[in-house]
């Protein structure tokens, strides 16, 4: 191992300077074991120093070597190479030495802290030669001699990432691998280009019924209106001349409308397609095949469920075209294969999940040119992978045990193993922390690659022999270890010590595990305390909420930049952010589906009980002053909590809440509240399937009469996700019930609200109304 003593001394020096200034300026007494209190500017100074000292290693191309650097307080970098094969690290040089070693090859002088240095690759003929770039000049560095030199042509590597030449310069045309044909979309229709001699191409128009809502054009940032020439929706199948595209038909889907009040000269009406729960006309999907050799299009019959959701992975295997189709009731999914020559559709796997499938994690991978399929399922209650053969016959379970298998990172079909994410494995102390595992495709040889406690990310080497394992938690600085494929540490990248934060006054969030309202289920979350926290005082409490179910939004890894919750806490609050039952797909079927059929209320009892539990452990939490806030689903939950427990939650800020899920997205309400098929399936003259569906969800509107505290409703007037009508309807209900409330319309703002004004709107509301809460007569005076 190496030492970063020089870098650490520099950091300590600047920290000492910052904190000695802090102590001289400190107005209040030290608190809680002599902890120092920093002003906002002092904390920012410390954070910038720590952020600059963070180490971010990267693989050197075409090798198993890792380049990283460490900076001292003056910004001078020292460069190192980690060599996991030999379990060692090598110091290369610092910025001063680098400038001295390369000065003869540079056209002008450069400051040691500003020098631009990178390693492109290792020489393919001599592993002791590093091919580098210094200030834009290609040089080679001899590890044995410790000197730079001009690149030896005999030892230079080819371009690390060779780019295959495109047959034509038309960026919108997708060509077959042999360049014989190309396809592009124009005015929503499809055009086939055949490459001719001397660059003279012939073009054939393949479709004529294109429409903005029935298009073969792919949506892109530069082609947002989809009416101009652009890339088509589909792909070519391997090295064949067969193309395929999944085309959606939204021509009958209803329009919702917004008014852009900030448009030039006069307000402008904005219409957009939007499906509501129970709608008769929803998106329909069509699979089209293209045979470029005869310029023929063929529509494939893929219908099985009325109003089914169809998805298709890119980079299809040449053995067939694979897609999944999911029932509108979100409880049945099928993996299907289409023969590109006979057009026959074969069902390979049918998965049924009650009450709903976990479509956040549901995935598959076709391998070995279609000979096998890796399939994710929650059939045992926890997500796991299974191996099927090409006919859809189950071969074996790949992962087993009481943990949730996540995304596939890599599959090695020759060595017969896969690398995957996982959540809640027995060694983890937090089921939300992402960790990584290796397992053979026959289910044997399970290896935990990342055993360290925290939320992990990995970067495999090119040959997949080693991984860079970086991990942290919200209350601890990142660590970095280089591991082999048995999970063994081969070398460690030195990182900042955790005491860097705690010893110098940067208060960290508190990670806590508590019980749900059932007194059985473990819940996990974060407590944020003020910078000048004094446990002898009483603090008002604020819950930052988002009930999921697709995600809970709780941060898991370290971030030196303070969160909005931390900034709010610094104003004199205890801020809580916890995940409740039903809030995440990462903890298995029973947890994920807890709120199904109870979309409004499922998280409320847990939220209240978490506050009550924590107050027993932390008497500085004032249960007479409890606030709550959230955005989107969290805005919905904020209003629901204040109206369900009006004597407990005193002040709330509800932002962009889907208060009436009956006018929110079909995908959301039908999935998480439920949907019923009300009429049997019929088939029209064109062979299309039809049925009727019904979905109904409780809202916050019928609870408006219960309001006792102060609530601020916020919405952007251009929100095309949660339509402003959701907020307006709750406001109308409060008016009808003679309640006082506050309403803020943010002009020109869509769903993703951000910025200083929005953050200050929240913090000011709690400072004004919760900090000195003395009661409030919510009813209008008659």
Greatest extent of the chain over all pairs of C-alpha atoms, in Å: 92
Angle at alpha carbon of residue 515, lines to 510 and 520, rounded to 5°: 150
Q: What is the mean pLDDT of residues 321-340?
A: 96
421-430's contacts with Cβ under 8 Å and 24+ in sequence apart are 423/586, 423/587, 424/382, 424/586, 424/587, 424/588, 425/401, 426/401, 426/402, 427/451, 428/403, 428/453, 429/453, 430/473, 430/511, 430/524, 430/556
Instruction: Specify burial of residue 330 (Cβ count, 10 A radius: 0-12, 13-18, 19+).
Output: buried
pLDDT at 119 over 60: yes
pTM: 0.90
Residue 775 CB coordination number (10 Å): 8
- The residues with which 352 forms a beta bridge, in sequence order, are 332
Is residue 227's pLDDT more than 60? no
pLDDT computed for residue 725 by the predictor: 98
CA distance 585 to 357: 10
pLDDT bin (cut points 50, 70, 90) of residue 188 is very high
Q: Which residue has the tokens 């591991």?
A: 483
Residue 220 is predicted with a pLDDT of: 61
pLDDT band at 1 (very low <50, low <70, confident <90, very high): very low
- Best-predicted range by mean pLDDT (151-155, 218-222, 346-350, 679-683): 346-350
Q: How far is CA 353 from CA 291, 325, 360, 593, in A?
A: 37, 14, 13, 11
Which tens digit of pLDDT belongs to each residue from 360-372? 999 999 999 899 9
**Token reading at 151:** 């690149």
Pairing of strands 710-716, 649-655: parallel
DSSP 8-state secondary structure symbol assigned to residue 453: S
Over 50: is that where the pLDDT of 22 sits? no
- pLDDT mean over 224-253: 86
Q: Mean pLDDT across the stretch 125-146?
A: 94
Peptide bond into 549 cis (omega under 30): yes
Nearest to 633 by CA among 548, 530, 513, 707: 548
Mean pLDDT of 771-777: 90
Please give the mean pLDDT across all residues of the chain.
90
Alpha helices in 77-120 (DSSP H): 95-102
pLDDT over 90 (residue 654): yes
* pLDDT value at 412 more than 90: yes
**Residues 6+ positions from 294 with CB-CB distance below 8 Å:** none
What is the model's pLDDT at position 686? 78
Beta carbons of 602 and 595 less than 8 angstroms apart: yes
The yes-or-no verdict on residue 324 having pLDDT over 90 is yes
The confidence score (pLDDT) of residue 505 equals 67
- More confident position, 504 or 368: 368
Q: What is the rounded average pLDDT of the residues 478-500?
A: 89
* Lowest pLDDT segment from 138-142, 294-298, 775-779: 775-779
pLDDT at 56: 87
* C-alpha–C-alpha distance, residues 671 and 664, integer Å: 12
Give me the count of residues in the chain: 782
* CB within 8 Å of 262: residues ≥ 6 apart: 747, 748
Inter-residue contact 274 to 256 (CB < 8 Å): yes
308: which residues sit within 8 A by CB, 6+ positions away? Answer: 285, 325, 326, 327, 328
Confidence of residue 160 (pLDDT cuts 50, 70, 90): very low
Q: What is the CA radius of gyration of the chain?
A: 30
Q: Average pLDDT in the 454-483 region? A: 95
Give me the half-sphere count of Cα atoms (radius 13 Å) on the Cβ side of residue 391. Answer: 2
- Is residue 139 a contact partner of residue 149, using CB atoms and an 8 Å limit? yes
Which residues, other chains included, contact 194 with Cβ-Cβ below 8 Å and sequence gap of 6+?
A: 180, 181, 201, 202, 203, 204, 292
Closest C-alpha among 166, 176, 328, 167 to residue 244: 176
Lowest mean pLDDT, pick from 165-179, 219-233, 437-451, 586-600: 219-233
pLDDT confidence of 32, banded at 50, 70, 90?
very low
Cβ neighbours, 10 Å, residue 53: 22
How many CB atoms are closer than 10 A to CB 502?
14
> Residue 313: its pLDDT value, please?
82
Q: How confident is the model at residue 242 (pLDDT cuts 50, 70, 90)?
A: very high
Question: Is 709 within 8 Å of 651 (Cβ atoms)?
Answer: yes
Least confident span in 157-161, 519-523, 704-708, 767-771? 157-161
Q: What is the pLDDT of residue 498?
A: 64
Give the pLDDT confidence of 596-648 residue by residue, as tens digits: 999 999 999 999 999 999 999 999 999 999 999 999 999 999 999 999 999 99
């Amino acid at each position: 191992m190496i030492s970063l003593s020089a870098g650490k001394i520099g950091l300590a020096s600047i920290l000492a300077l910052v904190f000695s200034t802090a102590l001289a300026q400190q107005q209040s007494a030290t608190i809680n074991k002599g902890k120092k209190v920093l002003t906002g500017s002092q904390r920012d100074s410390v954070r910038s120093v720590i952020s600059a000292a963070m180490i971010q290693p990267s693989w050197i191309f075409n090798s198993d070597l890792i380049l990283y650097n460490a900076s001292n307080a003056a910004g001078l970098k020292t460069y190192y190479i980690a060599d996991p094969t030999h379990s060692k690290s090598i110091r290369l040089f610092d910025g001063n030495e680098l400038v001295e070693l390369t000065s003869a090859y540079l056209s002008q002088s450069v400051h040691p802290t500003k020098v631009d240095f990178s390693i492109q690759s290792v020489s393919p003929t001599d592993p002791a030669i590093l091919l580098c770039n210094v200030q834009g000049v290609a040089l080679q560095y001899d590890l044995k001699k410790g000197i730079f030199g001009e690149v030896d042509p005999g030892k230079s590597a080819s371009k690390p990432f060779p780019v295959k030449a495109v047959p034509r310069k038309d960026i919108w045309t997708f060509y077959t691998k042999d360049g014989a044909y190309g396809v592009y979309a124009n005015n929503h229709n499809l055009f086939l280009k055949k490459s001719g001699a001397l660059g003279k191409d012939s073009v054939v128009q393949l479709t004529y019924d294109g429409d903005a809502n029935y298009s073969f054009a792919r949506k892109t940032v530069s082609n947002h209106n989809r009416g101009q020439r652009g890339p088509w929706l589909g792909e070519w199948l391997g090295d064949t001349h067969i193309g395929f595209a999944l085309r959606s038909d939204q021509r009958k889907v209803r329009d919702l409308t917004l008014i852009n009040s900030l448009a030039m000269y006069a307000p402008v009406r904005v219409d957009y397609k939007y499906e509501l729960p129970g709608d008769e006309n929803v998106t329909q999907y069509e699979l089209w095949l293209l045979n470029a050799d005869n310029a023929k299009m063929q529509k494939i019959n893929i219908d099985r469920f009325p109003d089914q959701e169809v998805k298709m992975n890119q980079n299809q295997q040449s053995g067939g075209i694979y897609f999944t189709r999911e029932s509108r009731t979100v409880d049945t999914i099928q993996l299907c294969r289409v023969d590109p020559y006979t057009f026959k559709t074969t069902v390979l796997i049918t998965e049924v999940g009650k009450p709903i499938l976990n479509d956040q994690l549901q995935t598959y991978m076709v391998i070995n040119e279609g000979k096998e399929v890796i399939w994710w399922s929650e059939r045992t209650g926890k997500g796991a992978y299974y191996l099927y053969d090409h006919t859809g016959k189950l071969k074996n379970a790949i992962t087993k045990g009481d943990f949730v298998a996540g995304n596939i990172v890599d599959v090695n079909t020759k060595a017969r193993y896969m690398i995957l994410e996982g959540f809640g494995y027995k060694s983890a102390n937090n089921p939300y922390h992402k960790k990584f595992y290796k397992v053979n495709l026959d289910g044997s040889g399970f290896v935990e690659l990342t055993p360290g406690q925290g939320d992990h990310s990995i970067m495999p080497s090119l040959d997949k022999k080693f991984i860079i394992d970086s991990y942290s938690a919200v209350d601890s600085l990142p660590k970095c270890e280089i591991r082999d494929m048995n999970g063994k540490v081969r070398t460690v990248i030195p990182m900042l010590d955790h005491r860097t934060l705690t010893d110098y006054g940067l208060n960290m969030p508190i990670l806590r595990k508590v019980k749900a309202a059932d007194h059985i289920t473990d819940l996990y979350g974060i407590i944020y305390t003020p910078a000048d926290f004094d446990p002898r005082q009483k603090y008002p409490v604020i819950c930052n909420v988002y009930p999921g179910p697709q995600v809970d939004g709780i941060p898991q890894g370290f971030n030196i930049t303070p969160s909005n919750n931390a900034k709010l806490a610094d104003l004199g609050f205890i801020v809580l952010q916890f995940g409740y039952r039903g809030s995440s797909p990462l903890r298995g079927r029973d947890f994920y589906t807890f709120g199904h059929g109870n979309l409004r209320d499922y998280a409320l009892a847990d939220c209240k009980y978490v506050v009550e539990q924590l107050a027993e452990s932390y008497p500085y939490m004032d249960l007479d002053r409890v606030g709550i806030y959230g955005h989107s689903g969290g805005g919905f939950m904020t209003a629901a909590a204040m109206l369900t427990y009006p004597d407990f939650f005193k002040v709330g800020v509800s932002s962009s809440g889907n208060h009436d899920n009956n006018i929110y997205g079909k995908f959301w309400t039908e999935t998480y509240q439920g949907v019923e098929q009300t009429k049997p399936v019929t088939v029209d003259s064109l062979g299309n399937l039809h049925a009727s569906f019904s979905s109904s969800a409780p809202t916050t509107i019928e609870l408006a009469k219960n309001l006792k505290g102060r609530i601020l409703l916020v919405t952007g007037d251009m929100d095309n996700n949660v339509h402003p009508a959701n907020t307006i309807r709750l406001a109308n209900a409060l008016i009808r019930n003679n309640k006082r409330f506050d309403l803020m319309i943010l002009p020109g703002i869509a769903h993703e609200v951000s910025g200083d004004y929005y953050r200050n709107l929240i913090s000011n509301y709690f400072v004004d109304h919760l900090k000195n809460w003395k009661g409030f007569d919510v009813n209008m005076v008659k």
